[in-house]
C-alpha cells in the first residue's frame, strides 16, 4: 500500500524530464460528485444506455431523455475537483502534455487545461442523427422544459409521497426514473428537420469513437515520452488500446487509480491510492521549469 507522499514521489521520478500524455477516466471525476461505472472490483454497478438501443428504439430515446432531463441540473452543476486542478498545474509546469479524457463532463477544460481530446464526446453538445444539426445541450434542455411543464412535479411525487427520481446521478448524466414517470415524457425533436433522433454527442456503450479522433490519440501516444493513466479501470478497449500501444513502443506507463485495471501488467508503475490527494501532492511540489520532486 502506498502512502500519498511516497506515491507522489514515485510519480515525480517517472515524470522527471518526461512530459506525460494523460489518459483520464471516470475515477477522476468522482470527487466532483459524478460516480464512475464500476465498483472497486471492476464490476459494472450501473447499466448505461447502449448505442444500439438509442439509435433503433424511440422508446429507448424517450427513456434516456426523460432520465437525462431530470439529471442534467445536477450533472451540469459539477465543478472541477483538486485532481482536475492538479493536472492543469502539472500541464502548466510542463510535466504533462495533452490529455485524452474518457469522461463526458468537460471538467478538464473547466479547470483550465488545454489540448484536451474528449475521446467519448461531451454531454453539453447534441447532434441530430438525421440531418447532422448540432445544438447546445442548454437549448435542448429549455425545449424539454417547455414541452414537459408538469414533469418536475410528476417525478417528485411518487405514490405514497416518495420521489420517482433516484438520489444519485449516473455517469451518463441521467438518473433512474420509474416507468410511470417516463411514459408521458416528450423527447426533444430537431428544430431543423423535426426528426426525433437527437442524441447527446457522446459515444454510448457499444458505439464507436470517430476514426479521426482515434488516429489523433494514437499519434499522441506514439509521440509521448510517458503515459499517465488516471482514474480508469481500462476495462474497455476504448482506453486500453492506448496503453497497449504505449507498451508496444516501450513508453513508460504509470497507472494511478483505486483497484485493479486491465493494464496493470503493462504498467511501469501502478499506484493503488486515492487519486486527488496523490495528484495534489505532486502538483504542489512543482513550478514551471522545475523537475517535480
Q: Residue ranges for the binding site for Zn(2+)?
A: 128, 131, 190, 193
Which residues are CB-contacts of 47 (< 8 A; sequence separation ≥ 6)? none
Contact 289, 94 (CB under 8 A): yes
Alpha carbons 91 and 10: distance in angstroms, whole number: 18
Question: How many residues are there in the chain?
Answer: 293
Alpha carbons 181 and 95: distance in angstroms, whole number: 49
Which residue among the candidates 2, 6, 120, 249 is catalytic per the annotation? 120
Q: What are the angstrom distances between the C-alpha of 119 and each of 30, 52, 152, 170, 253?
A: 18, 19, 32, 19, 19
Q: Is 163 helix (H, G, I), strand (E, B) or coil?
A: coil
Provide the pairing of β-strand 134-136 with 198-202: unpaired
Tell me if residue 120 is catalytic: yes
Give the residue numbers marked as catalytic. 120
Amino acid at each position: 500500500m502506498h502512502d500519498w507522499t511516497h506515491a507522489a514521489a514515485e510519480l515525480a521520478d517517472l515524470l522527471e524530464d518526461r512530459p506525460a500524455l494523460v489518459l483520464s477516466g471516470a475515477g477522476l471525476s468522482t470527487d466532483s460528485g459524478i460516480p464512475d461505472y464500476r465498483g472497486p472490483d471492476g464490476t459494472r454497478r450501473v447499466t448505461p444506455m447502449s448505442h444500439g438501443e438509442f439509435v433503433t428504439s424511440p422508446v429507448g430515446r424517450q427513456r434516456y431523455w426523460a432520465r437525462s432531463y431530470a439529471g442534467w441540473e445536477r450533472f451540469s452543476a459539477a465543478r472541477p475537483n483538486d485532481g482536475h486542478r492538479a493536472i492543469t498545474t502539472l500541464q502548466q509546469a510542463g510535466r504533462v502534455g495533452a490529455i485524452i479524457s474518457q469522461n463526458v463532463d468537460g471538467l478538464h477544460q473547466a479547470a483550465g487545461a488545454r489540448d484536451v481530446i474528449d475521446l467519448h464526446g461531451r454531454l453539453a453538445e447534441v447532434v441530430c442523427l438525421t440531418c447532422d444539426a448540432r445544438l447546445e445541450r442548454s437549448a435542448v434542455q429549455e425545449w424539454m422544459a417547455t414541452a414537459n411543464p408538469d414533469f418536475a412535479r410528476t417525478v417528485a411525487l411518487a405514490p405514497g409521497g416518495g420521489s420517482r427520481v433516484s438520489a444519485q446521478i449516473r455517469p451518463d448524466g441521467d438518473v433512474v426514473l420509474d416507468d410511470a414517470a417516463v411514459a408521458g415524457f416528450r423527447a426533444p425533436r430537431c428544430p431543423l428537420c423535426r426528426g426525433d433522433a437527437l442524441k447527446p454527442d457522446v459515444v454510448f456503450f457499444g458505439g464507436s469513437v470517430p476514426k479521426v479522433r482515434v488516429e489523433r490519440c494514437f499519434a499522441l501516444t506514439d509521440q509521448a515520452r510517458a503515459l499517465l493513466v488516471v482514474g480508469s479501470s481500462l476495462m474497455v478497449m476504448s482506453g486500453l488500446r492506448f496503453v497497449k500501444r504505449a507498451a508496444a513502443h516501450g513508453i513508460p506507463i504509470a497507472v494511478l487509480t483505486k483497484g485493479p485495471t486491465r493494464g496493470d501488467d503493462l504498467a511501469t508503475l501502478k499506484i493503488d491510492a486515492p487519486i486527488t490527494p496523490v495528484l495534489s501532492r505532486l502538483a504542489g511540489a512543482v513550478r514551471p521549469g522545475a523537475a517535480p520532486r
